[in-house]
Structure 1
C-alpha cells in the first residue's frame, strides 16, 4: 500500500492534496499505483468556522481559518482517505467532540485522543494526539468550553489515560504497522543522523544534551509496541531514524523506521510516500489501478476502550488506573464481549457506525469572511454517541 505522510498540516489541505496529485501524475508514468492513504501527524487545524479560531492556541497572526472549513461545509471533498492525529495547535472544542475518534469531514478520520483502527481490515494504524507536559500527564481531561488561557494549553497535553490504553495494544493483538504522533519519542535523535539534525535545527542542541527532546511516554510506547513504522510532525524538520529492538520470537531483530516531516511550504520536506507490503489476501484485483481503502474498528482496541471506560478521568485530579493484573482480566472480558456483540467476530466497518454530521454551523462562503461569530459553543457529536452505544459504555464526552 502506498501511503503519503505529512508532518504538520497547519490547515494547508489544498496544498497537501495538490502535492499528492502531482506525485501520482509522476508515478503513473512509471506504472506505479497511486497513493491510497494519507496520514497527517498533528496540527491539522480542523477549524469549522470563525468561532473555532478561539479554541485554538496560537499567536494571533497564525490564527487563520485556512482550508478545512470548505471540506467540512461540503464545498470540497478530500480526494483521498485521510487519517489524522491531533497536535498542539488544534480546534480543541471540535477535537473533544470526537474524543474516541470520528469523521471530521467526509473522507477525513480523526483517530481520537488515542486510538487504533484497521485499514482494509489488515493495516493496523494507531496514534496518540497532543504533546507531552509532565505537569499534566497524570491529570484528567478537565478542560471544557469556555476555555481560559491555561486550559486552552493543557487541553492538548497527552494524558496517562490514553498512553496506558495504547500500551495494551500488543496484549494478544496483532503488531502495530504504523504509529502516528505529533510529538517525537524521547531520544529518537540518537537513532539517526544527530549532527545533520543539529545543522538543520541548532536550537535543539540543549534539549539533546539534556535528553529532553521529545516525549518520554511516547518513548515507552515505541519500546513496548515496536511498530514497523512511526510517523511524527511537530519539529518542522525532516528526520529519519531506525530503532532496532530486542530479538523477537523468531530470533530476528525487530526494527521501527521513524519518519518526521515538516509543514507545507515552498522548499519544505512536508510530504513523503512510504510503502507497506499488502498481504496477498488483500491485493486488489488485477487491472485495478485505483483502490479506495475502507476503515474498520480494531476489535482489540474496542476491548481496551470498553475495559478502561469506567476509569476515564474527567477531573483535574485523575483517579488511579487499575493494576496490570486487573487490566489483563478486564481486557480479556471486554474482548469476549466485543467478539460476541460487534460485527463479524468483532470486525465492523467504521462507516456502518459513525456517519459524518455537521455539528457547528459551517461557513457560508469559500473565504469564510462573512462569518463573524467569535463565540465558541459546545456541541454533541452523534458519532461519539454511536460509538459509545456500540460499545455499551456511557458517553462521558457530552
Structure 2
C-alpha cells in the first residue's frame, strides 16, 4: 500500500518514563504492519531523557520511580531513533539538563526537546508545545533560576508559568498543540462517571487546567495531544464558526497501545488512523 505524494504519517506518544526502546519497538511494529513510514514523532512529556545518575537526581519524583531508563544508549549513539522525535517536558524530567537550554535543543541524534515553549514547522505541520504542569500558586511566580537547583524543591521546576502561556499564545495558530496536562472541560458528560476517583481526577470537572484550555481556545489547533493521566481518551473542543479541535489523550508506554496514535496528513486534512491497523488508501 503506498501513500499519495502529498500524504504523510506522524505518530504521537504518551508518557514514556524512560522506556525509549519500548516506544521505538511499538512504532516500528506499526510501520511494518501498515507498510508506511513515519515522518516524525511527537511526545507529550514525561519523556525522561536521563543521561546518568546526576540527571536523575534533578527529577521531581518519589525515589521508587527514579530509574535511568534507556535514554543513555541513544545519547551515547549506541542506538538511534529511526525518525525525528520532538518532545515537551512533563512533571518528571531531568531539569538540571533540560533547563540549561530552556528554548530547546537536540538531546540526542534525531531527538529534540522543544523547550519550555516551542514552535516548529514539521513537513508543513505547525506544532506548538507547552512544557510542564499547572500549579496555581506557582503560575504567577517566576521559575527559580537553575542555580537554585538543590536548594529548592525539584517540583518548582515542573510548573509552567503565566509567562510561558503568554509566549505560547503569541504563536497565533497551531495545527497541533502539545500539552502534558489535559485542558479543562474536554470530558463529555456521559463519560464523567468513568473518571470519578481515578488518577488525578477526583471528578470530571476537576480534570485538566484552565490555562491549557485557554491555549486551545486561543490557537484553535486541529489536534491537541496530551498525557499525564495515563489513560487514553478522545474528545472535542468546540469553537465559534463551526471550528473544533480534536483532543487526543494518551496513556503511558508501559500500558500498551493506548499510549500511541498515528495521524495521516493529506493536504488540509489531518486524521487519526486505526492503531495497529493498516490505514485506508
Matches within 5 A, 1:21-170: 21-28=28-35, 33-120=36-123, 122-145=124-147, 147-148=149-150, 150-170=152-172
TM-score normalised over the length of structure 1: 0.62
1:177 maps to 2:175: yes
Cα distance in 2 for residues equivalent to 1:181 and 1:205: 17
Q: Give the structure 2 partner of residue 274 of structure 1.
A: 263
TM-score normalised over the length of structure 2: 0.87
Structure 1 gaps, min length 5: 248-252, 281-398
Q: Give the structure 2 partner of residue 332 of structure 1.
A: none
Q: Higher helix share goes to which structure?
A: 1
CA apart distance, 1:222: 0.8
Shift of the 36–62 alpha-carbon distance from structure 1 to 2, 3 Å rule, reads same
Cα distance in 1 for residues equivalent to 2:60 and 2:200: 23
CA apart distance, 1:207: 3.6
- How many pairs does the alignment contain? 262
Shift of the 98–207 alpha-carbon distance from structure 1 to 2, 3 Å rule, reads farther
Q: Give the structure 2 partner of residue 237 of structure 1.
A: 231
Shift of the 186–37 alpha-carbon distance from structure 1 to 2, 3 Å rule, reads same
Cα distance in 2 for residues equivalent to 1:99 and 1:67: 23
Q: Give the structure 2 partner of residue 6 of structure 1.
A: 13
Structure 2 gaps, min length 5: 1-7, 270-281
Mapped contact 1:46–1:94 kept (Cα < 8 A): no
CA apart distance, 1:150: 4.4
Cα distance in 1 for residues equivalent to 2:146 and 2:213: 29
SS of the residue corresponding to residue 265 of structure 1 reads helix
Cα distance in 1 for residues equivalent to 2:55 and 2:25: 25
Cα distance in 2 for residues equivalent to 1:265 and 1:168: 35
CA apart distance, 1:22: 0.6
Matches within 5 A, 1:253-264: 253-264=242-253
Mapped contact 2:133–2:180 kept (Cα < 8 A): yes
CA apart distance, 1:264: 1.4
**Quick check: which has more Rg, 1 or 2?**
1
Matches within 5 A, 1:340-355: none
Matches within 5 A, 1:239-318: 239-247=233-241, 253-267=242-256, 269-278=258-267
Cα distance in 2 for residues equivalent to 1:207 and 1:36: 38
Give CA-to-partner distance per residue, 1:103-126, whole Å, 9 cap, x none: 111101111001111013x21000
Cα distance in 2 for residues equivalent to 1:169 and 1:205: 30
Give CA-to-partner distance per residue, 1:80-123, whole Å, 9 cap, x none: 11010000000011110220111111101111001111013x21
Q: Higher strand share goes to which structure?
A: 2
Q: Give the structure 2 partner of residue 194 of structure 1.
A: 191
Segments of 4+ moved more than 6 angstroms: none
